[in-house]
Structure formats: C-alpha cells, structure tokens
C-alpha cells in the first residue's frame, strides 16, 4: 500500500495490517485537515453572533471535551483492531444489521453536510459574480463539479486539498490579523453579540454536533495509526487545535463584523482572495463527505443485500441528491441540523465504548482473529438492547433540557446498554442453570 492514506484504500472491508500503518504526522494532518474547514468557521461565526467571547469559549471547551473522549476511545479501538467504524461496530454492540444502520446514518448526515458546504461554495460564487449567477444555478454547477472530481479525479482532488488547506489557514490568519489591527482583543472579548442569544447547552451541543460524526468515524483514520499513543496525540491536536483554534478565531471575527455571514466576514477581513480561498476549501471536505457517504451506502448493500455496488455510480447519485438539497436551501437549517446530530450520533459511541472496553462481548473473537489478520467468522444480527439504548439516548438528548444534550444522550445510552446487557446475561445464565439442573 502507498504511504499516503487514500480514499480508495484496499482495507475498507478488512483489517489494516501493521505493515500498512502510517506515521503520527500522516494521520494527524488528515485529522486537522478535516477540522480546518468552512463548516468549522460557520460554527464559530454562529457562536460569535449569539454569544460573548467567553461564553463561546466555554461552550467550545465543553463540546471539544466530548469529542476528545469519544474520538480517543473509539480511535484506540480502531487502531488496536485495524478496523473502520462500520466493521468495528459489528462486534461492539450493533451486529451486522446495526452496523448497516450506522452506515446509513453517517451516509445521510454526510449528504447533509455536502449540501451545507455546497451552499456556502455557491453563495461565494454568486457574490463574486455580482448577481450574474443565481444560487440554484451556482449550487448545481458547484455540486456536480465536485461530484465529478470525486468520481474521476482523486489525484486532482488530493492536489487541490494540499493547496486548499494551507491556503484556508493563511486566509484565516490574514483575517484575524486584520481584525486585531483594527480592534482591541480586550474590547472584543467584552463586546456583546449582535444576534439572538444562544444558551450554553445549545452552543456546546452545536460544537459537539459539528464534528460528532468525525469523532464516531475516527477508527476510519486511526486504524492506520501504529499505536494508542499516536491516536491520543492525533485526537488531542486535531480536536483542540482545529476545534478550539478555528472556532475562537471565527468568534472574534463575528463579534468584530457583527454578522454570522462567513463570506461577508472574510471579505471584510481578508478581501475577495480570502473569501474565495475559504469557499473553495469546501472542495476538500466535500470530497470526504461524498466518499464517506458512498462508503456507507456500499457497505449497507454489501452486508444486508449482498450486493456489491459500483462506488463511482453511488457517488454520482449521492452528489446529485446533495446538490438538490443545497439548491433547496439546506444551509438555512444548519443550526437545527447540528443540534439534531448532537443528540442522535453520540449514543452510537456510548454503546460501542461500553461494549468494547467494559463488557468485551466479542473481545475473544476479535483477539483470536486479529492474530491471523482476519475478521471474526460470525456476527450477530443486532441485539434489541442496542435499539432500546440508542432510542433512550436520543430521547434523553432531545427532550431533557437540563445539562448538555450531547452528554445526556451519550451517558444515557451507555448506562441503558450496560444495564440491559447485564440483565440479559443474568437471565440467560439463570435459564442455562435451570436447564442443566433439569
């Protein structure tokens, strides 16, 4: 295998052997690149529009802690087993069909992200064209353009990403320099937001929800890590540098510009060059969105229907759907989208962490098959306890207003799954004892 992590790698349905593992730098740059995106900037701007600097700081810290814990634990398991999230979930509580459900959720969420990112990309082109392009036309052109690149131009996309990410960071750096040259940091940290107030719980959930999918699919990247220490530093640097750094820069810019319009903020601070760099950096993350979504769908059809679909055709269909969503104005629902993700996805992590590290339900099979570099021969369909725990976690995160919803959903799902599995095990052992006595 090449030393570079490829979107079309050969280990999507098998373990990554030790000979194919990568350096700390290689996996960390992928992680930071996934966070240094326009969506992270949108999130920070949303916080700065509805919160003071210090309120946004603590909301980001609380949300980032959630991401760090989830990312490290799942990432460690992924590195130890050399398995992606979808494969690992088959033997950590979800079974064959449950892992397909996870794949579907991630795939659908990534389509949503594609639509959000594409809307920003298209809005940038509309503004730069001085009204010559309408949003529907621009969104169609940008959406289908990125889709075609993903299908036919992986090498071109890789080259684009290697330029877009540093350029994005440079544009943000120029922007914050311009802000600080015209405003006092102290004054900005004490200024009041221009928009409707955001609560700490809602903001922390937005932060966690903004990258919760990335946290849950950490094994997709960490399976290439050489050891657990590398996973720790990858998640620490990626989460806190990417999340906290980009967020707080965007918060300061939003407080200074008195708007949450990302393109307007970048135009006011970095000029047209900054705005163009920022919106074009969406190509990189939308490439990952399309790939993750297509991988999820191909895994679903493979595990449930035993159908091996052409990933290129799947990508085309998903790209068209995501483009349609962006034309329909999915960006307007961005905050609601983040909040929903913040309570629907964490239960997946709660269940997987409890099953792998505490209950160790299939640890023996995983350990034995790991020695031979294969997968366990059997995988259960899905335990009803998993569905109950997942539903309970979602309900707790969505309906319980006290505390931080993301934490509520994570903790409740973990507790319900743990107790439920203990009860099932106790009943099973009791019935087995009766059967032997009879």
For 20-328, give the CATH class: mainly alpha
- How does residue 47 score in pLDDT terms, banded at 50, 70 and 90? very high
- pLDDT, tens only, 136-161: 888 888 888 878 876 764 345 556 66
Determine which helix (DSSP H) or strand (DSSP E) holds 409, and give its type and residue range.
Answer: helix 405-437
Contact 263, 77 (CB under 8 A): no
Q: Count Cβ neighbours within 10 Å for each residue of 71-110 and write b for 16 or more, e otherwise.
A: bbbbbbbbbbbbbbbbbbbbbbbbbbbbbbbbbbbbbebb
Query: What is the rounded average pLDDT for all residues in the chain?
Result: 81
Q: At what angle do helices 384-399 and 405-437 cross, to 10 degrees?
A: 150
Q: Which residue has the tokens 């082109």?
A: 125
Q: What is the pLDDT of residue 436?
A: 62
Least-confidence region, from 103-112, 122-131, 265-274? 265-274
Residue 275 confidence (pLDDT) above 80:
no
Q: Could you give the C-alpha distances from 419 to 94, 367, 412, 427, 433, in angstroms and in order? A: 16, 25, 11, 12, 21
- Across 250-394, where does the E strand assignment appear? none
Contact 301, 91 (CB under 8 A): no
Residue 170 confidence (pLDDT) above 60:
yes
Question: The whole model's pTM is what?
Answer: 0.79
* Whole-angstrom Cα Rg for the chain: 22
Kindly compute the dihedral angle of the four CA atoms of residues 226, 87, 337, 167, in this order, to the nearest 10 degrees: 30
The token pair at 50 is: 């509805």
Q: Give the C-alpha separation, 396 to 254, whole Å.
A: 32
Query: Phi, psi at residue 410, to the nearest 5°?
Result: -65, -50
Q: Which residue has the tokens 């707080």?
A: 248
The token pair at 380 is: 């259960």
Q: What is the pLDDT of residue 141?
A: 87
Q: At what angle do helices 282-304 and 311-327 cross, to 10 degrees?
A: 120
Query: Phi, psi at residue 22, to the nearest 5°?
Result: -115, 170
- How does residue 438 score in pLDDT terms, banded at 50, 70 and 90? low
- How does residue 282 score in pLDDT terms, banded at 50, 70 and 90? low
C-alpha count within 13 angstroms, C-beta hemisphere, residue 366:
21
Percent of the chain with pLDDT over 70: 84
Contact 216, 85 (CB under 8 A): yes
- pLDDT, tens only, 214-255: 788 888 889 889 999 999 999 888 877 778 888 888 899 889
Q: How many residues does the chain have?
A: 438
Q: Give the C-alpha separation, 1 to 242, whole Å.
A: 28
- pLDDT, tens only, 79-111: 999 998 888 998 999 988 888 888 887 777 777
Contact 326, 140 (CB under 8 A): no
- How does residue 342 score in pLDDT terms, banded at 50, 70 and 90? low
Every domain of the chain and the residues it spans:
20-328
The token pair at 62 is: 């609380």
Residue 10 confidence (pLDDT) above 60:
no
Q: What is the pLDDT of residue 94?
A: 92
- How does residue 345 score in pLDDT terms, banded at 50, 70 and 90? confident
Q: Give the C-alpha separation, 413 to 85, whole Å.
A: 18
Contact 249, 180 (CB under 8 A): no
Per DSSP, helices labelled H in 334-404 are: 334-344, 346-353, 363-371, 384-399
């Amino acid at each position: 295998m090449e030393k570079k992590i490829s979107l079309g790698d050969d280990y999507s349905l098998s373990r990554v052997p030790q000979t194919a593992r990568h350096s700390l730098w290689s996996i960390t740059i992928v992680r930071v690149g996934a966070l240094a995106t326009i969506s992270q900037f949108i999130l920070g701007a949303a916080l700065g529009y509805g919160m003071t600097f210090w309120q946004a700081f603590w909301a980001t810290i609380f949300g980032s802690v959630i991401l760090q814990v989830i990312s490290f634990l799942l990432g460690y398991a992924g590195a130890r087993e050399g398995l992606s999230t979808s494969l690992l979930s088959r033997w950590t509580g979800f079974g064959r069909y449950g892992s397909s459900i996870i794949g579907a959720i991630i795939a659908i969420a990534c389509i949503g992200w594609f639509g959000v990112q594409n809307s920003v990309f298209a809005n940038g082109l509309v503004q730069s064209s001085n009204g010559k392009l309408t949003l529907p036309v621009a969104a169609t052109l940008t959406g289908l353009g990125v889709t075609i690149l993903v299908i036919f131009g992986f090498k071109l996309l890789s080259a684009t990403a290697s330029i877009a990410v540093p350029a994005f960071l440079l544009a943000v750096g120029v922007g914050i320099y311009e802000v600080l040259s015209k405003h006092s940091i102290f004054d900005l940290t004490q200024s009041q937001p221009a928009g409707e107030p955001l609560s700490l719980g809602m903001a922390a959930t937005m932060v966690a929800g903004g990258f919760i999918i990335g946290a849950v699919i950490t094994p997709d990247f960490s399976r290439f890590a050489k050891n657990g220490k590398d996973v720790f530093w990858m998640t620490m640097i990626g989460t806190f540098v990417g999340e906290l750094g980009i967020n707080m820069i965007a918060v300061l810019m939003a407080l200074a510009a008195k708007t949450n319009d990302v393109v307007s903020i970048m135009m006011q601070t970095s000029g047209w060059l900054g705005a163009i760099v920022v919106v074009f950096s969406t190509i990189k993350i939308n490439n990952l969105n399309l790939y993750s979504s297509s991988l999820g769908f191909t895994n679903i059809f493979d595990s449930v229907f035993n159908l091996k679909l052409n990933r290129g055709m799947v990508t085309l269909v998903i790209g068209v759907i995501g483009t349609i969503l962006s034309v329909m104005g999915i960006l307007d629902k961005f905050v609601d989208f983040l909040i929903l993700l913040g309570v629907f996805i964490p239960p997946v992590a709660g269940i997987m962490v409890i099953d792998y590290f505490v209950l160790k339900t299939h640890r023996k099979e995983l350990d034995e098959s790991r020695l031979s570099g294969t997968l366990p021969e059997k995988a259960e369909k899905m335990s009803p306890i998993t569905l109950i725990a997942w539903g309970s976690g979602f309900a707790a995160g969505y309906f319980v207003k006290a505390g931080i919803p993301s934490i509520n959903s994570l903790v409740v799902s973990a507790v319900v799954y743990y107790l439920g599995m203990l009860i099932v095990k106790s009943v099973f052992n009791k019935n087995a004892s009766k059967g032997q006595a009879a």
